[in-house]
């Protein structure tokens, strides 16, 4: 038990509570202080008094299964990880105003990793000098994101680009697949955009067939045919929808609408 400090009251804060909030749940000192109605200095003093190891700026929470799936699905879609140090990274993603509810949903799934900025309105300027209403989310720096970064990025012709490997796909479950769809899909089931070499087609095709028994097709787009859309034939659409429908949030349900003939 603790007593919230409203000015003069004493706060009863046990070592076990502080370990739970600070070490296990990853709450910042400022967040704990805010909840208790006290100062950062008091929390810092108690951490020292209880001999609790201070966290690095790059904290290392172990993600839950759902958190991990949201991150991995996002990285197959619109997510980006920037290295904040040799051993840590920061995940960020951006969505348009139409998808504000979706980015807020993703941010809620990743609350434990969220930076104080949370979801922020951040208009994006196009090459034509037109501003678009967009929202951005950043996590805190974490060693977990550094580990993910090593999987999803590789150097191709001296450029750091995202890629897709069988190792990456084998760690994707239905929730991660659903996030991938909500990030990169559309109602016509040209579902996944892959800006990587053509060899990845075989990896993706085999994975969908081996894990989900779904046959895929591909369309190459762009001037250099460098963007690959993964599409599902009408006979496979129902299989795919049955996999992801449970996890697709209402505002993104337009991405899985199919005709009654297919259903």
Whether residue 71 is found in the same domain as residue 153: yes
* More confident position, 128 or 236: 236
Same-domain check for residues 147 and 60: yes
Domain residues for the domain of 41 are 15-49
My answer on whether 28 and 63 are in the same domain is: no
**Which of 157, 186, 201 is the endpoint of a domain?**
157
Domain membership of residue 3 (yes or no) is no
Query: Higher-confidence residue: 233 or 59?
Result: 233
Task: Identify whether the C-beta of residue 69 lies closer than 8 Å to the C-beta of residue 179.
Answer: yes
The answer as to whether 2 is a domain residue is no
Q: How many CB atoms lie within 10 A of CB 228?
A: 23
Residues 196 and 175 in one domain: yes
Domain count, the chain: 3
Q: In whole angstroms, give the CA distance from residue 29 to residue 260.
A: 54
Asked if residue 261 is part of any domain, the answer here is no
Beta-carbon contacts of residue 83 (< 8 Å; ≥ 6 apart)? 89, 146, 149
Identify whether 42 is part of a domain: yes
Residue 192 lies in a domain: yes
Q: What is the pTM of this model?
A: 0.73
Specify the higher pLDDT residue, 109 or 197: 109
Place of tokens 């994975």: 207
Same domain, 229 and 139: no
Does 23 reside within a domain?
yes
Identify the pLDDT of residue 131. Answer: 80
5 found inside a domain: no
Q: Do 60 and 41 fall into the same domain? A: no
Domain endpoint, select from 134, 157, 180: 157
**pLDDT in the model for residue 177:** 94
- Give the tens place of pLDDT for each residue, 63-108: 999 999 999 999 998 899 988 777 888 899 999 889 999 999 999 9
Residues 28 and 43 reside in one and the same domain: yes
Q: Is 212 in the same domain as 139?
A: no
Of 5-9, 32-36, 137-141, 210-214, highest mean pLDDT: 210-214
Residue 8: DSSP 8-state: S
CATH of the domain at 83: 3.10.28.10
Do the Cβ atoms of 41 and 50 come closer than 8 Å? no
Q: Are residues 135 and 91 in the same domain?
A: yes
* pLDDT band at 249; cut points 50, 70, 90: very high
């Amino acid at each position: 038990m603790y007593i919230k400090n409203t000015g003069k009251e004493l706060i009863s804060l046990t070592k076990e509570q502080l370990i739970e909030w600070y070490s296990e749940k990853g709450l910042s000192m400022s967040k704990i202080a805010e909840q208790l109605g006290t100062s950062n200095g008091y929390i810092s003093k108690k951490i020292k008094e209880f001999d609790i190891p201070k966290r690095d700026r790059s904290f290392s929470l172990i993600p839950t299964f759902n958190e991990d799936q949201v991150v991995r699905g996002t990285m197959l879609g619109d997510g980006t990880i920037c290295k904040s140090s040799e051993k840590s990274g920061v995940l960020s993603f951006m969505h348009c105003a139409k998808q504000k509810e979706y980015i807020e949903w993703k941010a809620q799934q990743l609350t434990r990793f969220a930076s104080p900025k949370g979801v922020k309105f951040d208009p994006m300027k196009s090459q034509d000098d037109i501003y678009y209403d967009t929202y951005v989310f950043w996590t805190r720096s974490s060693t977990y994101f550094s580990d993910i970064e090593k999987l999803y990025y590789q150097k191709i012709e001296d450029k750091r680009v995202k890629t897709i490997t069988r190792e990456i796909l084998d760690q994707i479950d239905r929730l991660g697949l659903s996030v991938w769809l909500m990030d990169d899909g559309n109602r016509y089931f040209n579902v996944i955009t892959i800006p990587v070499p053509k060899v990845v087609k075989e990896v993706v095709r085999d994975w969908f067939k081996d894990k989900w028994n779904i046959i895929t097709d591909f369309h190459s787009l762009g001037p250099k045919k460098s963007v690959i859309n993964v599409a599902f034939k009408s006979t496979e659409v129902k299989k795919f929808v049955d996999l992801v429908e449970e996890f697709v949030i209402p505002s993104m349900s337009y991405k899985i609408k199919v005709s009654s003939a297919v259903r």
